[in-house]
Structure 1
Amino acid sequence: NAGGQGPNQGCSLGFRDDTFGAAWNEEQGGVYATLWDDTGIRIWVFKRDCIPPDLKCNKPEPLTWGMPQAFFRFGDDCTADHFSELRIVINLTFCGDFAGPFWAWLLGGCLAKDLFCGSHVREEPRAFEEAYWAVKHVQIYQPASVPSSTPPT
């Protein structure tokens, strides 16, 4: 957890609205790229018409991509050895925190739909017809060694 936050919380990110959802779909998607090295984890988002040429030819050079949308720097509070044996998970968590605590569902303004999120998902499948991932491919690169660097500012 980041300092001053409760359990199961991390740093929030402020991605632009056109990097997900309807706006992302209207632009035919794009590329999410992640660099995980000894300094931290960086994430870039490229709309389809802005994908770097090095990515298009499968020779990624992340240090040329400019400032990432997110950078989780490793340090005393979050050491690199905390991240190991990770898996890529792509899922639709319909209820998220709403799956259990009634108060979260109530405070989320969802009570008008159903008494509980789980029953709403179970009894209203048509509400989720447009909820899906369309993934063309997932590419993973693992260089023999990734040089440590300072991200652009």
Structure 2
Amino acid sequence: MFTLPFSALALSLCASAASALNSKRHASLAQRIKSEQPALRSPVWHGLGRDTNFQITDNCTGSTFFDCFDYFTDADPTHGDVVFVNESDAWSLGLVSTTPTQSFLRVDNSTSLPSGQGRNSVRLGTKKTYDGALFVLDVEHMPFGCATWPAFWTVSQTQPWPLGGEIDIVEGVNLNPLNQMTLHTGPGCAPNTSASDYTGQQLGTTCPSSDGANAGCGFLDRSNTSYGAGLNAAGGGVFAMHWDGGGVSIWHWTHDEQPCDLADLSGSPDPSGWGTPAAAWVANGCSPYTYLTDHQAIIETTLCGDWANSNYAAAGCPGTCSDAVMDPSNFNDAYWQINYFSVFVES
């Protein structure tokens, strides 16, 4: 049984919902049929119903969280002012740590640096790769602040970028208040997604990406609890990404709003009952199994780099991004506090 951390209020809300459902069962057949129509189900979920079961394949939490990951130590592909440290250094420098129920990934916030030197940080990538799955990340706190660029995403490990695809699940820079979710692919992907398929703000429709033209096709979450300071003030939240033959969908909830089947994962999650996702890319026009292959899931925090540098002044951050990296006090909030990361496959 996999019973993972959840808020008492979330469990109470789930219990209330279960009680309401129990009462509803005593209604007339006609009333019950009408009341249980799947009005909240997203049109993205063609053919996926309650008879679809998900089996947990990776349960990364607490003291065993880091067993699921390898440490990336190459130069930052986004040209950040950062040094991604290896496993030994991450532990000895205090950039990673665990409790029985939580895991922490930090940017160094104790070392004053000379101009031009990158700051130590951590980038993790799953030891496994996936061709379709349900990914769930539950966090209490995420990195935030000027010069930061945190992300939770997946990317192909067998094809050069952008071939094989990239799915950005949680991403933002500097003081941005809203989460940005983006799909990057090779040539030919053009999802025929309609406005009823998602609740976020559509940012672009050109999914094929390349160096110098890599905006991808993205969505901005409309909730001010989806990223950064707003998410942290709300006590964190839960992100879920599902990728199958019908498309790719991403949801976000606060802990008090999360579905009951994510508040306690002893059963099988049922995405068909989660409502319309914040972001969705349907298979019509972009077959997921054609454009997305062999993905590794990544959790990281880089600093400055292509996006955070270009957004730095507009975000209202002082001085320059590179200067901000020199001062350790700018990174007191630059840490992930994670309850769990879990992966499910359909069975």
TM-score by length of 1: 0.75
Contact 1:42 1:71 in 2 (8 A): yes
Q: Match for residue 60 of structure 1?
A: 269
Structure 1 residues 110 and 66, CA, compared in 2 at 3 Å: closer, same or farther?
closer
Structure 1 residues 107 and 31, CA, compared in 2 at 3 Å: closer, same or farther?
closer
Unaligned runs of at least 5 residues, structure 2: 1-183, 185-204
1:66 is paired with a residue whose SS is coil
Q: What is the CA deviation profile of residues 81-133 of structure 1, one whole-angstrom value per residue up to 9, with x for unaligned ones?
A: 21111111111122131578xxx36864779513xx34531x12211111111
Counterpart CA distance in 2 for 1:125 and 1:74 is 45
Q: CA deviation at 1:11?
A: 2.2
1:22 and 2:229 matched: yes
Counterpart CA distance in 1 for 2:317 and 2:238 is 36
2:296 is paired with a residue whose SS is coil
Counterpart CA distance in 1 for 2:251 and 2:315 is 32
Q: Match for residue 213 of structure 2?
A: 7
2:238 is paired with a residue whose SS is strand
Counterpart CA distance in 2 for 1:25 and 1:105 is 21
Contact 1:105 1:111 in 2 (8 A): no
Contact 1:99 1:118 in 2 (8 A): no
1:138 is paired with a residue whose SS is strand
Q: Match for residue 245 of structure 2?
A: 38
Query: Hey, which of these two has a bigger chunk of helix by percent?
Result: 1
Structure 1 residues 112 and 20, CA, compared in 2 at 3 Å: closer, same or farther?
closer
Counterpart CA distance in 1 for 2:315 and 2:294 is 37
Letter in 2 for 1:66: G
1:33 is paired with a residue whose SS is strand
2:249 is paired with a residue whose SS is strand
1:87 and 2:290 matched: no
Q: Match for residue 97 of structure 1?
A: 306
More relative contact order in 1 or in 2 (CA 8 Å, sep 6+)? 2
Contact 2:237 2:254 in 1 (8 A): yes
Q: Structure 1 vs Structure 2: percent identity of aligned residues? A: 29
Letter in 2 for 1:14: L
Counterpart CA distance in 2 for 1:98 and 1:50 is 31
Higher gyration radius (CA): 2
Unaligned runs of at least 5 residues, structure 1: 145-153
Q: What is the CA deviation profile of residues 61-90 of structure 1, one whole-angstrom value per residue up to 9, with x for unaligned ones?
A: 0000110011012233x3322111111111
CA RMSD of aligned residues (A): 2.7
Query: Hey, which of these two has a bigger chunk of strand by percent?
Result: 2
1:141 is paired with a residue whose SS is strand
